[in-house]
């Protein structure tokens, strides 16, 4: 499990989990779950397209994730955002399906793209992946206060002179980059699970933003580590473990919080 060929899996997994945990915290806070679900599917089309024309998949992933983010960002300003997000999502998936149909891609590769592959980041890609992750991290630190502020009270922050549209656009770019990095490992359909499961659980555990953010990154890291280890041990797709573990974690924490509140109410009564 810790042999040399797995070094990449652990290293990329750790970086991706920390990044997605941090991004997911803001996704949950801002209620942009649907957009965060659609963007990885854009990345899927990009990877399928890159395979078709034979360029580095990372280019396709980043380009299409960014395109999806811009598409959602601009169209949601004009029309109802859930409708335009839904249409952007299916358009990207359909494009990916068409790319796959025209290429001679065999099934395991398709499944890896959709449902994840622990060895999804090759040793030649680890440097660009790390660089992009650091870029996203710096972006999040730079945006931390305005993001938090505009998520909690858009009206107040507008009154304080913050440019909400610009913040939203920058945030969607960060979501897009983080998705592009996570898709090869976690899978296009499951990246979203990691983006909202652990952060939603973290938010239930603490209402203080700093602590919730740290918890979110920690829970995301734990989820992905356990998923990588189980995927290796049972030889099953990592997406299965990411999806079910994230959901189980959220439901467990929710149950525990409900129980704790009930007990404290009973004690005070």
Partner 1 sequence: MHWLLEPGLFTNDSVRTAFLLGAMVSLVSAVVGVFTVLRAQSFAGHALTDVAMAGGAGASLAGVAPLLGFLGGGVLGAGAMDAIGVLRVKGRDIATGVVLGAATGLAALFLFLVASSSAATGSTQLILFGSVFTVEASTLPYVAGLSALVLTALVFIRRPLLLSSLSSELAAVRGVRLRWVGGAFMIMLAVSVGLSSIVIGSILSTALLIGPPASALKMSSHVTKAVSIAVGLGIAATWLGIVFAYDSYYWLPAHRGLPVSFFVVFVVVIEFSFANLAYRFHARRVAPTTSARVNVEPVGGR
Binding to partner 1 in span 50-79, by CB under 8 A: 78-79
Please name the residue that has the structure tokens 């992933």. Answer: 61
Would you count residue 94 as binding partner 1 (CB under 8 A)?
yes
Binding-residue total with partner 1 (CB under 8 A): 54
Cα–Cα distance, 171 to 82 (Å, whole number)? 18
Please name the residue that has the structure tokens 């913040």. Answer: 167
Phi, psi of 189 (to 5 degrees): -85, -15
* CA atoms lying within 13 Å on the CB side of residue 269: 6
CA distances from 175 to 7, 20, 38, 54, 141 (A): 26, 8, 11, 26, 14
Would you count residue 82 as binding partner 1 (CB under 8 A)?
yes
Residue span 205-244 as binding mask against partner 1, x where in contact by CB under 8 A, dash where not: -------------------------------xx-xxxxxx
Q: Which is nearer to partner 1, 93 or 167 (by Cβ)?
A: 93
Nearest distance from residue 227's CB to partner 1, in Å?
10
Contact 191, 115 (CB under 8 A): no
Q: Which is nearer to partner 1, 33 or 164 (by Cβ)?
A: 33
Instruction: List interacting residues with partner 1 (CB under 8 A).
Output: 28, 31, 33-34, 37, 78-83, 85-87, 89-91, 93-95, 97-98, 100-102, 106-108, 110-111, 114-116, 187, 189-190, 192-193, 196-197, 200, 236-237, 239-244, 246-248, 250-251
């Amino acid at each position: 499990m810790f042999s040399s060929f797995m070094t990449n899996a652990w290293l990329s997994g750790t970086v991706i989990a920390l990044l997605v945990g941090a991004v997911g915290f803001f996704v949950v806070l801002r209620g942009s779950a649907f957009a965060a679900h659609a963007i990885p599917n854009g990345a899927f089309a990009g990877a399928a397209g890159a395979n078709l024309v034979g360029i580095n998949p990372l280019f396709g992933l980043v380009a299409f994730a960014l395109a999806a983010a811009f598409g959602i960002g601009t169209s949601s300003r004009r029309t109802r955002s859930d409708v335009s997000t839904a249409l952007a999502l299916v358009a990207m998936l359909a494009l990916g399906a068409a790319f796959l149909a025209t290429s001679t891609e065999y099934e395991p590769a398709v499944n890896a793209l959709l449902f994840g592959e622990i060895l999804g980041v090759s040793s030649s890609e680890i440097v660009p992946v790390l660089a992009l992750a650091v870029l996203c991290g710096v972006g999040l630190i730079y945006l931390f206060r305005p993001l938090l502020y505009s998520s909690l009270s858009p009206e107040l922050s507008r009154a304080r002179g913050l440019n909400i549209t610009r913040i939203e656009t920058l945030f969607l770019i960060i979501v897009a980059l983080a998705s592009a990095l996570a898709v090869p490992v976690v899978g296009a359909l499951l990246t979203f699970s990691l983006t909202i499961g652990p952060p939603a659980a973290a938010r239930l555990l603490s209402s203080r933003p700093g602590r919730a953010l740290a918890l979110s990154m920690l829970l995301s890291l734990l989820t992905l580590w356990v998923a990588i280890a189980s995927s290796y041990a049972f030889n099953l797709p990592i997406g299965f473990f990411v999806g079910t573990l994230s959901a189980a974690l959220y439901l467990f924490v929710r149950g525990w919080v409900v129980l704790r509140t009930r007990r404290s109410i009973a004690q005070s009564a």
